[in-house]
């Protein structure tokens, strides 16, 4: 594919034959990208490609911040490109050329007069970067970085409002743990991944601690769990084994009788009202920025713990463990 840079018409739009060729080039480029995506899915590297595409979007949003502020400041923007090197495809709209270049190592926006040494057409000089007052130039300079903070706030808002955050009051079954010599009490009782544990022995569950305490304190004694599923609430009875007498892979043996049913507990997700989520997202973003800045100047052993970080108990004996990134696993029982 080649760049199309034929002279535009007086109205600033490309000639009809050039416009048709541009559409054809754009279609060919789109088909190549689509074929690459399909090939990546077939090869099993679709997630990697999605990460690359996300980075590309992030880069162009960054450049879009510079672009928008330059236009707002009435500066002339001549190019808005993804990549560097030879042009693969481009299209001109008005005074700006948009396109893709061969080396996808970033992106750029070209504004005439970014330095005092650059030669510029005298007709364009009043709209160059160097001829603008301080604040418009400052706005262009910081717009790209500001875009990342805005993007973070929007994604955080969407997460809180539509995906949900781990709720310490919603204890769910993440996975079932089998014993080395057979099924665990949870498997025998009929626990299923995704079940929400709403009550234990008639007492409402408000945290992982409630389930842990009830299970730990009843080795070899039947315990009734109320599990909430899509079909409604289901009551099951499991008899915890005694970890002081039975060895479970991945769990420490205990000196005292300690109950264990073989459930890996997760925290369920809760969404917020989209309006309320705006304030929550802003607060969470501000807190994350503050903790990051605070951690940069603190020794490793004094670095703050992010809010909502999870702790895990093995046999409910308070054994701290670093959670897997992105995991909401808090405990096994």
Confidence (pLDDT) at 114: 94
pTM: 0.71
**For residues 117 and 112, what is the distance between their CA atoms, to the nearest angstrom?**
11
- Helix 134-158 with 274-296: angle, nearest 10 deg: 110
**Is position 119 annotated as part of the catalytic site?**
no
Taking only Cα atoms into account, the Rg of the chain, rounded to an integer number of angstroms, comes to 29
Is the pLDDT at 110 greater than 90, yes or no?
Answer: yes
Tokens for 132, please give them.
């603008």
Q: What is the rounded average pLDDT of the residues 310-333?
A: 43
Q: Are 211 and 268 in contact (CB under 8 A)?
A: no
pLDDT more than 90, % of the chain: 56
Instruction: Please check the confidence at residue 333 and state whether its pLDDT lies above 80.
Output: no
Residue 193 predicted with pLDDT over 60: yes
- For the chain, report the end-to-end CA distance as a whole number of angstroms: 61
- List the domain boundaries for the chain: 16-132, 167-271+308-332
Nearest CA-CA partner of 196 in 170, 224, 157: 170
SS3 state of residue 38: helix
CA dist., res. 166 & res. 329, Å (int): 10
Q: Give the model confidence (pLDDT) of 125-144 as tens digits.
A: 999 999 999 999 999 999 99
Split at pLDDT 50, 70, 90, the class of 332 is confident
> pLDDT at position 37, please?
83
Residue of 6, 10, 21, 63 marked active site? 63
Confidence band (pLDDT; 50, 70, 90) for 246? confident
Superfamily, domain 167-271+308-332:
PDZ domain (2.30.42.10)
Residue 300's pLDDT is what? 64
Residue 259 CA to residue 110 CA, distance in Å, equals 67
What does the pLDDT look like over 37-68, one tens digit per residue?
888 888 888 888 889 889 999 999 999 999 99
pLDDT digits (tens, 9 = 90+) for 5-34: 444 454 455 566 767 777 777 787 788 788
Least confident of 55-59, 221-225, 258-262: 258-262
Report DSSP letters for 239-306, one per residue.
Answer: --EETTTS--TTS---SS--EE--EEEEEEEE---HHHHHHHHHHHHHHHHHHHHHHHTS-GGGPPPP
């Amino acid at each position: 594919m080649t760049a199309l840079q034929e002279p535009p018409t007086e109205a600033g739009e490309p000639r009809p034959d050039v416009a048709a060729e541009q559409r054809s080039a754009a279609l060919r480029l789109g088909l190549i990208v689509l074929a690459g995506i399909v090939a990546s899915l077939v090869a099993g590297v679709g997630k990697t490609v999605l990460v690359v595409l996300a980075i590309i979007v992030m880069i162009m949003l960054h450049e879009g911040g510079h672009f928008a502020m330059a236009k707002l400041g009435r500066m002339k923007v001549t190019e808005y490109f993804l990549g560097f090197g030879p042009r693969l495809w481009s299209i001109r709209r008005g005074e700006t050329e948009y396109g893709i270049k061969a080396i996808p190592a970033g992106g750029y926006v070209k504004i005439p007069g970014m330095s005092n040494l650059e030669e510029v057409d005298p007709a364009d000089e009043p709209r160059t970067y160097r001829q603008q007052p301080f604040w418009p130039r400052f706005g262009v300079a910081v717009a790209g970085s500001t875009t990342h903070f805005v993007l973070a706030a929007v994604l955080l808002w969407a997460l809180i409002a539509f995906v949900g955050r781990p709720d310490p009051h919603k204890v769910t079954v993440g996975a079932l743990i089998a014993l080395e010599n057979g099924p665990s009490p949870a498997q025998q009782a009929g626990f299923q991944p995704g079940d929400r544990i709403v009550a234990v022995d008639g007492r409402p569950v408000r945290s992982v601690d409630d389930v842990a305490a009830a299970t730990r304190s009843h080795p070899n004694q039947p315990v009734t769990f109320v599990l909430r599923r899509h079909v409604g609430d289901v009551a099951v009875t499991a008899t915890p084994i005694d970890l002081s007498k039975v060895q479970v892979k991945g769990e420490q043996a205990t000196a005292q009788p300690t109950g264990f049913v073989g459930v890996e507990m997760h925290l369920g997700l809760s969404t917020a009202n989209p309006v309320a989520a705006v304030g929550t997202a802003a607060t969470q973003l501000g807190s994350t920025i503050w903790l990051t800045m605070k951690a940069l100047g603190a020794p490793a052993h004094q670095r703050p713990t992010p809010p909502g970080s999870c702790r895990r108990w093995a046999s409910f004996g308070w054994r701290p463990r670093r959670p897997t990134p992105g995991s909401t696993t808090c405990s096994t029982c």
